[in-house]
Structure 1
Amino acid sequence: MSTPLDRLTDLCPPPAPVQPPVDWAGVEAALGTRLPQDYRQFTAAYDPGRLADFFWVHDPRHTSVHVRLAGPAADRIRAQMRSDHARGICPSPVDPELLLPCGGTDNGEVLFWIADPRAGPDAWQVAVNEARGPRWFVFDGGLTRFLVAVLSGTTEVPQFPKGLAADGVGFEPSRLDQWCPPLPEPSPPVDSAQIRAWARANGYDVPPRGRIGVAVRDAWERAHRD
């Protein structure tokens, strides 16, 4: 019976790995959590690099802060999620403390593991946050299964370009000292009072306090998007 990794390597064959193996005990100690088995298998099959000229998966071996699994970039993203959630601006679908960045796209979307249950990483789901926007997508499965579903065209993520895999997919390995995709810029803080005032001026019914509804936030984002 084929595994999700078997299907992924059929879709997107990797070259023979040349980078050193991962010190998983050290990585998991630094993160304070065990990691999914499918992710361990993914890093054994694929060096750091890019899938389908679009996805990059965080790797413990990479020297770039942008794509290293643990480091300042991941900490910055998590801090942004906590701030947004507390302000009611583009809040995550789960407690932001459960979000662990695991990858991203060239368009600026961020991929997260939903680390719940904490002690059962093989049951973690994958969440996608829109680049500089409010939309979230949650995939009921692990990272490798998610990549297979998107690259095979069986799952469409609203935040991703349509026909992403229409022209075929491939894997581009990177040199650890060269490849450095840009870190998405943090979303600027927005006063929720501004959103409420705009909503009332445009015919939306919003409460004076508490969480602002998703439909209102979406409408505000569309109205203020460049």
Structure 2
Amino acid sequence: MSNALAALQEIVPPPDGPRRKDWTGIERALGTGLPADYKELVRVYGGSNWDDHLYVLEPGCPNAHYDLLAWAERQAEDLEDLWVHEERPAELEEDGTRVVPWAVTDNGECLYWLVRPGLDPDGWTVMVNEARGARWEHFPMSCTRFLAAALSGELRSDVLSSSFPLAVHEFRRLGPA
């Protein structure tokens, strides 16, 4: 278990019953491997809502609105269309660099992994894009570390809602819509 996941479990105790996934099939469908900390996050918490604001995407999520594979496909198309009219963030200028979504908010912000050519998925960092805007933030940490740091108040984002995190954390595992 990663230190970030252990910190997250201190903040929000995990629900009962792990979620099992066929990661080989998921990664094949996505066209890339995924970070080990994310796989562990999904195993322990599943697709989930944090503090009634942030939704961690899950491949094959019981609530289809938060399926990682569907979001990845949609976002790739939407961003390519967007970058015809807007400038790419500096972090995405290197050829072959892209982003893959791992979480969204109820306001429409999207949290991505920054995927660089030749970089192992465990080295991916977090990018946050504001809803309906061109502002991006980069956080040089894993998704699980980002979530734990955001919930603990250690990390503040200028893009995410100022009401996140809540003083008393709320958590729910996502089920059917």
**Under a length normalisation based on structure 2, what TM-score does the superposition of the two structures give?**
0.89
Task: Report what 2:34 is aligned to.
Answer: 35
Aligned residues with identical type, % of pairs? 33
Aligned residues: 174
Whose RCO is larger (CA < 8 A, sep 6+)?
2
Task: Report what 1:127 is aligned to.
Answer: 127
1:112 aligns with 2:112: yes
CA distance in 1 between partners of 2:122 and 2:171 (Å): 24
Larger Rg: 1
1:162 offset after TM fit, Å? 2.1
1:13 offset after TM fit, Å? 1.4
Does the C-alpha gap of structure 1 residues 92 and 65 become closer, same or farther in structure 2, counting only changes over 3 Å? farther
Q: CA-to-partner distance for each residue in 1:96-147, whole Å, 9 max, x for gaps? A: 8511111111111001111124450010011000000111011101100010
1:148 offset after TM fit, Å? 1.1
1:76 offset after TM fit, Å? 1.9
Give the letter aligned to residue 31 of structure 1.
L
Q: CA-to-partner distance for each residue in 1:61-119, whole Å, 9 max, x for gaps? A: 31444311112x432221121122232x2533414851111111111100111112445
Larger mean CA deviation between 41-50 and 61-70 belongs to: 61-70
| Contact 1:51–1:170, Cα closer than 8 Å, also in 2 | yes
Task: Report what 2:88 is aligned to.
Answer: 91
Larger mean CA deviation between 105-114 and 57-66 belongs to: 57-66
Q: CA-to-partner distance for each residue in 1:139-171, whole Å, 9 max, x for gaps? A: 101100010111111111001222522422131
- For residues 131-142 of structure 1, the aligned pairs below 5 Å read 131-142=131-142
Task: Report what 1:215 is aligned to.
Answer: none
1:66 aligned counterpart, secondary structure:
helix
CA distance in 2 between partners of 1:119 and 1:166 (Å): 34
| Contact 2:102–2:112, Cα closer than 8 Å, also in 1 | yes
CA distance in 2 between partners of 1:148 and 1:57 (Å): 13
2:111 aligned counterpart, secondary structure:
strand
**Under a length normalisation based on structure 1, what TM-score does the superposition of the two structures give?**
0.71
CA distance in 2 between partners of 1:61 and 1:80 (Å): 21
Residue segments in structure 1 that go unaligned for 5+ positions in a row = 179-226
1:155 aligns with 2:138: no
Does the C-alpha gap of structure 1 residues 159 and 101 become closer, same or farther in structure 2, counting only changes over 3 Å? same
CA distance in 2 between partners of 1:33 and 1:77 (Å): 15
1:86 aligned counterpart, secondary structure:
coil
Give the letter aligned to residue 79 of structure 1.
E
- For residues 59-78 of structure 1, the aligned pairs below 5 Å read 59-71=58-70, 73-78=71-76
Task: Report what 1:189 is aligned to.
Answer: none
| Contact 2:51–2:171, Cα closer than 8 Å, also in 1 | yes
Task: Report what 1:220 is aligned to.
Answer: none
Higher strand share: 2
| Contact 1:116–1:124, Cα closer than 8 Å, also in 2 | yes
Residue segments in structure 2 that go unaligned for 5+ positions in a row = none
